[in-house]
Amino acid sequence: MIDHIAFVGALMTGATVPAAAQDQPDTVEISSERASPDGAGLEDIVVTAQRREERLQDVPIAMTALSGDALEQSGITNTQQLTQAIPNLVMTSAGSSYQAVIRGVGTRGVTQGDESNVALYVDGVYQPDQTAANFEFLGIQRVEVLRGPQGTLFGRNATGGLINIVTLDPSFTPSLDAELSYGRFDEVVGKMRATTGLTDSLAIDLRGLYRSDRGYVYNIFRKRWENPRDARAIRGKLLFEPNDSVRLLVSGGYSYSNDPTSMANSPLDGNFSARAQFPGILIPGEYQVAVNEDTVNKKRILDASIQASFDMGPAQLNSVTSYQRSRSHYVNDNDGSQIRISYLDLDSEVETFTQELRLNSNHEGPLQWVGGLFAFHSTSGYRPIVFCCTAPDGTGTPRAALRTEGLAESIAFFADGTYELTEKLSLIGGVRISFERRRHDFLQTSAVSGMVQASGRLQKDFDDISPRASLRYKINDESMIFFTYSRGFKSGVYNASSVTQSSPVDPETIDAFEFGLKSDPLQWLRLNASVFYYKYKDIQLSARDSRANSVLLLNAADSTIKGAEAELALQPTRNLDLRMSGTYLDAKYDRFPGAVVNNPLPQGGNSQTIVDLRGTHMIRAPRTTFTLGADYHRQFGDGSEVGASGNIYHTAKYYWDFNNRLTVPAYTMVNASIYYELPGGNTRFTIWGRNLANAVVPQQLLPSTTMDNVTYEPPRTYGVSIRQQF
C-alpha cells in the first residue's frame, strides 16, 4: 500500500528533469504570462533519438536525457547507477555481465554472443559485449535513454529500448579540466580532460581516468577485503572540419578494469549445499564472503571509430565505422565456501566490426527522412572455460575445458520519415529489414588428459522486418501528444557455454503500443507522461541445468506488460532546479510452461523442479518507482558560489527468479553533495555522499542447486573532491 501511495504522489507531483540540470544561458526570452517571478526558464535539450538532431519535446518517444553535469550532481558516476535517475530502468549484473532492464524487458542470458536486448551506443557506436557494459563516466555530454522498442532506427537488439551515451567532442578553445576525489573504502578517483585546437580546422581532445579502492566485501575465511576495484582508461578524439560541408571525427581508447564484486559469491541466508557436506563451515553475512578462490573480473577493451558527415545540399551523408576488441578473465567460486568444491576459470574475447551508412534529409519542407544500411560482424568465444571439480569431497580435480568460437553477421536496411499532414498533425513511419547469420563452434576436452569429449559446428540464419508508426499532434506551441506502434526483435542465439544444447533459441519479439504527452505549459515547467502496452513473445531466458552443470537457454514464455510513467521538471527560480518522476509497471507471464525453478532443501542448496509459472511477475520489474531531486546554487558578489544537490530514488520490491522467491526488498537510495567554488569559477571543492540511508541492495540473486548466490551494491560511501579548470 505504501508503494501505491508513493506512486500516486509522485505522479501528482512530477518526474525527472532532463533539461533543468543543464547550464542556463545568460539571458532567456520569456513571455510575461509564462515566466517565473525572477525570469527563470528551462533550457531546451537537443537529442538524436530519431537519428537527427531534434528538441527533446518534439520527439514522439518516451525518453529521458541528462547532461553530464546533471549526472554528476545526482551522484551518478557509472552506467550501473543510471537506475537512480531514469524512470523504469533497472541496471543489474549477472556474473561478469552487466544488464539493463527497461519496463521489465532485459536479457537473462550471460554467455558470449548473447547480446543485451537493451542496446547500448557510445558516440554512435553499438556496444554488443555485455561484459563491457559497465564503465566509469568520463567526459560525458549527455546520456539519452529511450524506452520501448527502437529497432527501426537502431536495429540490433533494441527490443526493450536504448541507452545512448554521447561524450564531449574536441573544442578549438584550449581548456584543461582535472578532478581528484577521495572517499570511504580508500576510494581514489582521478579524471582529466584536455582539449585544444591544433589548426583552424583541426582539434584534439584527450581524457584519462584512474580509479581504485580496497573493496567493501570482507572475506571472513582469508581475513582480507575480497573485492578491491581498479580501473584505468585513456581516450582521445581528433576533429577535422576543413569547411562547412565536411566533418571527420576519429575516436579511440583503451581501458582496463578489475571489479570482482559480482564474482564474490555469498550464500543468501546461509543457503548452500556445502553446509551439509562440511559441518562447521563458515556462513558469511551481508557484505561478507568465505571463499577460497581469488575472485577476478578483469576486462581490457580497445576501440576505434571514424565518423564522417558530408553536406550534399538537400541531403547529408553520414558514415560510422568502428572496431572493438574486449578480453575478459574471471574466476568464480561457484560453491561459495572455503572448500574447493566447484569453480569456473574463464577467459573470453569479443571482436566486433560495424559499418553504418546513413542519408538524412537536409532541407525545409513537410517531409523529413532518413535511410541507410548497417553491417555487423562479430566473433566471440571462450579461451577456455575450465570447469572444476569432479570430487564432491573437495579434492579439487579440474573436470573439463571448453573452447568456443561464435560468429554473428548481420546486414540491415532501414528507412524512416516524418510527414507534416497539417501544421499540427504529423505522421511518422519507418521499417527495418534485417538478415543475420549465427554460427557456433565448440571443442570440449578433459582438463587432465586433454582427450576430446565433444566438438562440432552449428549454424542458422534469421531475418526480420521491424516497423514503427506514430501520429504526433501539436496541441499548441508548447504541448503535443503522440500515439506509437513499434515492433522489437532480438535474433536467435546459440548457447556458448554448453555442448549439449545443439539448437539456438528462437528470436524474441515485442509489439508495443504507447500514448504520450509532452508539455511545457510554462517556461519554467515541463511535464512528460506516457502509458504503454506490450505483447512480448518467445522470451529468451536462461536457467541453471543441474544435470549438465551448465546454463540452459530457452524460449520459455510470453508476457503482457503495461504501465505508466510521468516526469516533471521545474525551475521556480534561477537558483533552484527540481525534478521528479513516478512509474507504474504491471509485467506478468501469460505463458510459462516448463519453467525450471529452485526450491530450498532443509540441509542447504536447492532442488530443481519443472512447473508452469503462468501469472507470476516478470523478473527485475518493480511495480512502482519514484525519484525526487533538487539542485540549488547561489553566487556571491565576489564571484564565489555555493551549491547543493540531492537525489532520492525509491523502488518497490522486485524478483530475480521465475517463481518469485528471491526478492530485492523495497529500498530508498539517497545521494547528496555540497560544493564551494572560488571566485572565477575555476576551482571547486565538493563533499559528496552516496547511499546515505545505507540501504542494503542485492546486486544479483542467482539460484542454482548449489546455492542462492547474492552479491551487494556498495553500502554508504562518502568523500571529498577538488576540481580545477584552466
What is the Cα 412 distance to its own chain's centre?
24
Domains of the chain: 2-725 (2.40.170.20)
State what percent of residues in the chain have pLDDT above 70. Answer: 91
Distant-in-sequence, close-in-space partners of 172: CB < 8 Å, separation ≥ 6:
196, 197, 200, 203
Looking at residue 453, its pLDDT comes to: 81
Residues 555 and 108: beta-carbon distance below 8 Å = no
What are the tens digits of pLDDT across the range 243-302? Answer: 999 999 999 999 999 999 888 889 999 999 888 888 889 999 999 999 998 889 999 999
Per-residue model confidence (pLDDT) at position 37? 53
Cell numbers placing 158: 533494441
Contact (CB, 8 A) for 629 and 646: yes
Of the given ranges (525-534, 686-695, 704-713), which has the lowest mean pLDDT? 704-713
- Measure Cα distances from 567 to 3, 61, 520, 529, 595 in Å: 18, 13, 12, 6, 37
The rounded Cα 512 to chain-centroid distance in angstroms is: 21
Q: How crowded is the C-beta side of 497, counted as CA atoms within 13 Å?
A: 23
- What per-residue confidence (pLDDT) applies to 21? 36
- Please write the tens of the pLDDT for every residue from 120-141: 999 999 998 887 778 889 999 9
How many angstroms separate the CA atoms of 195 and 141, rounded? 14
Q: Helix (H, G, I), strand (E, B), or coil: what is residue 603?
A: coil
What's the chain's Rg over C-alpha atoms?
A: 25
| Residue 450: predicted pLDDT | 73
Q: How large is the average pLDDT for residues 299-313?
A: 96
pLDDT value for 245: 96
Reduced 3-state DSSP string for 437-451 = EEEEEEEEEECCCCC
pLDDT in the model for residue 249: 98
**Averaged pLDDT for residues 167-178:** 96
> For residues 268 and 710, is the Cβ–Cβ distance under 8 A?
yes
Show the cell assigned to 324.
Answer: 572493438
| Residue range 86-109, pLDDT digits in tens | 999 999 877 777 889 999 998 887
Bin 394: left if φ > 0, else alpha if -120 < ψ < 50, else beta: left
Residue 193, classed as helix, strand or coil, is strand
Cα 566 from Cα 523, distance rounded (Å): 19
Contact 557, 539 (CB under 8 A): yes
